[in-house]
Structures are given as C-alpha cells and as structure tokens.
Amino acid sequence: MLTVALPKGSLLADSIQRFQAIGLDFSALLEPGNRQLQVTDPTQTARALLVRNYDVPVYVEYGQAQLGVVGYDILREKRPNVAQLLDLGYGHCRLSVAVKQTSSYHSALDLPIYGRVASKFVNCAHDYFESLDLPVEIVPLYGSVELGPITGMSEAIVDLVATGTTLRENGLVETDTLFESTARLIAHPLSYRLNVDSIADWVGKLEAVS
C-alpha cells in the first residue's frame, strides 16, 4: 500500500485537495476533533501519515513513506536524501532577512561583522551570509524569532514570510530575500526508482493536476 507523509499546518488542506483530485481521499485528517495520525483512503489503495512539516523528509528518507509533501524551505534547510519530484505550486512564502523598522540597516550587507542573526533556518542563514562573505553569528531560535531584534539579542532574523503581517505587527521589516518557497512532492529514491506501489503513476497524475 502506498504511504504518503502529509504535513500538519498550512499545507495540509491544499495537499489533501490535491490528492483528492487524483482519487485518493485523506480528508478524514481535516475532520473537527480528529486525533488520528494515520488514515487510509476508502479505496484501500493508500494511507496518509500526519506529521510535522520538518519530519516529512525524515519519514520519506527512511522509507516509512514512499511519497511526501513538504515546503521547499525545509528541503533547503535539512538537505535530506530524497527525490524532489514536483513543485506543487501552493504554500507560497519566502525566506527573508528582517530587521527592526527603526534600524539603520537597510540590507544584509549593512549588518556588522560578527553581528548576530537569529533563525531556526541555521543552515540556510549560514550559507546565505557566507555567500555575502559576511561573517555573522547564527543564533538558533525555534519560536518567536521576531523577539531577537526586539530584545536586542540579535541585529536581524532569517525567517519565513508569507504576508509580512507578523513582521509589521512586531516592528520589523524585510531587507533581503534568500529564496522563494512552495510545497514540493518528494519520494523515497529507491522506491521511486523501482516504482514501488505504482509511484510513477501517482506522480504522473499529480503532475497533470498541478
């Protein structure tokens, strides 16, 4: 049976809708009060695992799921050994550098040498500032990253931005964009190569509706 790892949060509804379009119904995961972490399509063709966005590539890489849906930002950060198959075209956001609106910094290059940048995207942030040849200290934060500049712990942050509302409400402004991110379809490399559980057919159907 085909197993698909689906991400909790903002990508879930669109992901379920996309799979419904090709005949796989995992909508039980959206039912109010649902606490199931695994559901089977009524046709008994496939099952879905409901996992954290960050964990989707792990389940796919270790073969517990043959397919998965995950944000491109996670793929850039975690660099998992998975096959990246399709840009599904939803979940648009961007990874950006942001500073306080009252700051004198207007771009990443304005930041001081060995200044602090708070982010949960440690690898992406490190690679970006290395590409600028600007040595900074990356401070790992995994919640309320916006507090970094507000409290003075960091000069800037690197974080995901969709509408920018959270930044504005906390007195921050974007200065640079590292890259754009959307939902991506990934696969376990060996399973995809061997076409286990007719993966290629399902990928072809998803490509047709994407």
One domain, residues 37 and 25:
yes
pLDDT score of 60: 98
Q: What is the dihedral of CA 197, 186, 182, 172, to 10 degrees?
A: 130
Q: Give me the tens of pLDDT residue by residue for the chain, a chain 210 residues long.
A: 999 999 999 999 999 999 999 999 999 999 988 889 999 999 999 999 999 999 999 999 999 999 999 999 999 999 999 999 999 999 999 999 999 999 999 999 999 999 999 999 999 999 999 999 999 999 999 989 999 999 999 999 999 999 999 999 999 999 999 999 999 999 999 999 999 889 999 999 999 998
pLDDT score of 139: 97
Total domains, the chain: 2
One domain, residues 177 and 201:
no
Residue 71 belongs to domain with CATH number: 3.40.190.10
pLDDT score of 210: 84
One domain, residues 6 and 36:
yes
Beta strand 156-161 with 93-100: parallel, antiparallel or unpaired? antiparallel
**For residue 161, what are the domain limits?**
93-181
- Predicted TM-score (pTM) above 0.95: no
Residues 114-152 as b/e (b if ≥16 CB within 10 A, e otherwise) read ebbbbbbbbebbeebbeeeebebebbebeeebbebbeee
One domain, residues 109 and 161:
yes
